[in-house]
C-alpha cells in the first residue's frame, strides 16, 4: 500500500435531524465561473489533446485555486497553480493538462465536467484531484454544490428549487471514491491532493489548515482506496509561516483564497515538492530537478557575500576602457575582498519590476544566507511605459498599490506594483533569509539645469530614501553624493562628460570608479555593519 504523506486527524460531522448539515461557506467569495461554463470551456483543453505519441498525460482536476477565472488567463490578477504546474515536469515524457474550473465542487465537477475529461484518459495516465473549497453552502438552491460532509456512504435526494431538477447528493468521500474508481477503470493512476491554504491565520505564526475536514477525509479515503495523497496544503502553509503576513498577503489577490501569480507559482512548486516527497508515488519519475535557481559563485567559509542588484549603472559591458561600466564591477576597489565575496547580479535595462518578473531576484533570494548583504539600486528604468513599449515601469510612488495591465507586446495580463512595493518586497525577502538589505539611490545623469548637476526629487531618487526610512534600512544616497562631487570637481556638463560614456546615464570606467567611492563614503555614514567590509 502506498504510504500517505501526512498524519490524519479526526472530527465528527454536524447533524441536523437525520441529515448532515452542509459545511458553511467560510470563504464568502462568489466565483461565477461555473455560471459561464460555455465561455470557460472555450479556454479549457480538449481532454487528451496534449498527448505526445504514447506518452502519458497528467490531468489536473480542481477548482479556482487550480484554474482561476472564466478564461484562466489572469485578467483579474488571479492565477491558479495548474497554469504553472507543467514547468516542473519533463514534457518530453509527460504532458500536463489543466482541466480545473472555478466555482466547482466535487459534486458539480463530477456531474458536469468529469464525463468529458474521463473520455480523454488512457491507460498509464495520471489524474490529480484537488477539490473541496466549494463543497459547502446549500444542497438544493443557489449554487447547489455542497456535498454531504464526511466520507460515509449515505446520500440524499434533493430537488433544485430554481429548476425542479432532481439530484442525488453523496458525501465528499463518496465523490472521491467515484473519481478514483473511474480513473482506475481506464487503467490510469488517481492521486488525491490536499487543498491550497487560505490567507487565514490561527495565530500570529500558524496558517489555518483544514485538518479536521477535507485533509482528514482525503487521507482516510486514500488509505481505504490505496491511492497516494500529496500534501500541497501543508507544504505551502509551512512556506507561508516562514514568510510572514506581509508577504503572504501578496500571495493572494482581491481576496483571501485566490492566489496572485506569486501564490500560484508557490503552490505549483509545492505540488511538485509534495509529489517528490510522497513515498511510492511513481509520478515523481517525470519531475524535472527541483533545485532552486541560484546565483553561480563560490561561497567561501566564514566570508559573507555582498550581492549587488540593479540596472546598467551597476553592471554593464564592463570589459575595457572604451566600454560602459557599472560601478559594482569595480566594487573590489573599495571593498576588502579578503573579508567578503562580491556577487554582481545586476542586469542592464532592468527595473525593480522586471528584475522580479524575469526571475533574477529569485536567484538572489535563493542564494542569501544569514550574514550576507544585498544592495538594492533601481530607478533609471522604473519610469515610463507600464504596458506598452519596453513594459518595464512600475506604478509611481512609495504607497503599496497594484493594478492589472494588459501588455501590448503579447496581450497577456500582468499585475504591476508600485516602486515602493518592490523595494519593500526586496527588503522583506532579504531579512527573511537572515541577510542585511541596503537601499542605494539611483546614480545621477549628466544633465545640468541651472548650472548644477540634475537632481530628481519626486522620483525614484527620493522614493528610495522614503522606503529606507520607513523600514529602518541603511540608505546610501549615491544620487546626491555623486552629484555633489561633480558639482564641485567638474562644474559643467562638458567637464563631467569624462565620467560618462555614449550618453548622459551610463558611466565610463572613471565614472564607475567614482560611484564606487561615493558608495564607500555613503555607507561609512550609516550604522550598517557593511562598512566594516570596506577598504
Q: 262 Cβ partners below 8 Å, 6+ apart?
A: 250, 251
pLDDT of residue 87: 98
pLDDT of residue 294: 98
417, 468, 461, 414: which is closest to 442 by C-alpha? 461
Residue 508 C-beta-side C-alpha neighbours within 13 Å: 11
Rounded to whole angstroms, the Cα distance separating 138 from 153 reads 19
Domains of the chain: 16-286 (3.40.50.1110), 305-533 (3.40.50.1110)
Q: Which residues pair with 57 in a beta bridge?
A: 95
Residue 44 DSSP one-character state: S
- The answer to whether the beta carbons of residues 135 and 148 sit under 8 Å apart is no
The position carrying cell 465561455 is: 39
Rounded to whole angstroms, the Cα distance separating 518 from 330 reads 12
- The answer to whether the beta carbons of residues 136 and 146 sit under 8 Å apart is yes
Q: What is the largest CA-CA distance in the chain?
A: 90
Rounded to whole angstroms, the Cα distance separating 519 from 525 reads 10
Long-range CB contacts (< 8 A, 24+ apart) of 168-172? 169/107, 169/139, 170/107, 171/147, 172/106, 172/132, 172/135, 172/147, 172/148, 172/214, 172/217
- The answer to whether the beta carbons of residues 307 and 375 sit under 8 Å apart is yes
pLDDT of residue 36: 63
What is the mean pLDDT of each successive set of 10 residues along the chain, which is 535 residues long?
A: 38 43 72 62 85 98 90 91 97 97 94 97 98 94 93 95 94 98 98 97 95 97 98 98 97 96 98 97 98 97 97 97 96 98 98 98 98 98 96 97 96 97 98 98 96 92 97 98 98 98 97 98 98 97
The CA-atom distances, in angstroms, between 484 and each of 166, 172, 274, 507 are 80, 70, 55, 16
Amino acid at each position: 500500500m502506498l504510504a500517505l504523506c501526512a498524519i490524519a486527524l479526526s472530527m465528527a460531522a454536524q447533524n441536523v435531524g437525520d441529515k448532515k448539515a452542509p459545511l458553511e461557506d467560510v470563504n464568502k467569495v462568489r466565483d461565477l465561473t461555473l455560471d459561464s461554463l460555455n465561455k470557460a470551456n472555450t479556454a479549457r483543453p480538449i481532454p487528451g489533446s496534449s498527448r505526445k505519441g504514447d506518452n502519458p498525460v497528467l490531468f489536473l482536476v480542481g477548482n479556482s485555486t487550480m484554474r482561476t477565472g472564466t478564461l484562466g488567463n489572469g485578467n483579474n490578477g488571479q492565477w491558479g497553480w495548474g497554469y504553472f504546474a507543467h514547468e516542473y515536469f519533463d514534457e518530453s515524457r509527460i504532458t500536463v493538462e489543466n482541466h480545473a474550473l472555478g466555482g466547482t465542487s466535487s459534486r458539480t465537477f463530477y456531474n458536469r465536467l468529469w464525463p468529458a475529461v474521463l473520455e480523454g484518459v488512457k491507460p498509464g495516465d495520471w489524474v490529480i484531484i484537488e477539490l473541496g473549497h466549494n463543497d459547502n453552502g446549500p444542497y438544493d438552491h443557489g449554487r447547489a454544490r455542497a456535498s454531504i460532509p464526511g466520507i460515509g456512504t449515505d446520500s440524499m435526494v434533493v430537488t433544485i428549487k430554481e429548476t425542479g431538477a432532481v439530484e442525488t447528493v453523496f458525501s465528499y468521500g463518496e465523490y472521491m471514491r467515484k473519481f478514483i474508481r473511474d480513473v482506475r477503470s481506464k487503467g490510469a493512476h488517481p492521486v488525491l491532493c490536499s487543498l491550497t491554504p487560505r490567507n487565514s491565520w490561527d495565530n500570529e505564526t500558524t496558517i489555518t489548515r483544514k485538518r479536521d475536514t477535507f485533509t482528514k477525509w482525503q487521507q482516510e479515503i486514500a488509505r481505504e482506496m490505496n491511492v497516494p495523497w500529496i500534501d500541497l496544503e501543508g507544504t505551502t502553509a509551512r512556506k507561508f509561516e516562514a514568510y510572514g503576513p506581509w508577504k503572504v498577503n501578496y500571495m493572494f489577490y482581491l481576496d483571501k483564497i485566490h492566489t496572485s501569480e506569486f501564490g500560484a507559482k508557490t503552490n505549483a512548486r509545492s505540488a511538485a515538492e509534495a509529489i517528490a516527497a510522497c513515498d511510492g508515488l511513481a509520478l515523481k519519475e517525470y519531475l524535472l530537478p527541483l533545485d532552486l535557481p541560484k546565483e553561480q559563485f563560490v561561497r567561501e567559509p566564514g566570508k559573507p557575500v555582498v550581492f549587488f542588484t540593479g540596472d546598467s549603472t551597476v553592471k554593464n559591458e564592463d570589459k575595457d576602457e572604451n566600454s560602459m561600466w557599472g560601478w559594482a564591477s569595480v566594487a573590489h576597489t573599495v571593498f576588502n575582498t579578503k573579508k567578503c565575496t562580491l556577487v554582481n547580479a545586476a542586469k542592464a535595462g532592468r527595473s525593480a519590476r522586471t528584475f522580479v518578473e524575469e526571475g533574477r531576484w529569485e536567484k538572489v533570494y535563493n542564494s542569501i544566507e544569514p550574514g550576507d548583504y544585498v544592495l538594492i539600486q533601481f530607478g533609471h528604468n522604473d519610469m515610463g511605459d507600464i504596458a506598452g513599449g519596453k513594459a518595464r515601469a512600475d506604478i509611481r510612488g512609495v504607497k503599496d498599490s497594484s493594478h492589472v495591465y494588459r501588455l501590448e507586446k503579447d496581450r497577456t495580463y500582468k499585475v504591476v506594483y508600485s516602486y515602493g512595493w518592490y523595494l519593500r518586497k526586496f527588503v522583506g525577502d532579504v531579512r527573511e533569509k537572515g541577510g542585511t538589505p541596503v537601499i542605494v539611490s539611483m546614480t545621477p545623469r549628466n544633465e545640468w539645469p541651472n548650472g548644477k548637476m540634475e537632481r530628481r526629487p519626486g522620483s525614484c531618487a527620493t522614493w528610495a530614501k522614503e522606503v529606507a526610512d520607513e523600514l529602518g534600512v541603511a540608505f546610501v544616497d549615491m544620487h546626491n553624493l555623486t552629484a555633489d562631487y561633480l558639482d564641485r570637481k567638474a562644474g559643467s556638463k562638458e567637464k563631467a562628460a569624462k565620467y560618462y560614456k555614449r550618453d548622459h546615464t551610463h558611466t565610463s570606467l572613471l565614472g564607475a570608479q567614482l560611484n564606487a567611492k561615493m558608495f564607500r563614503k555613503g555607507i561609512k555614514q550609516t550604522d550598517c555593519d557593511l562598512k566594516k567590509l570596506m577598504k
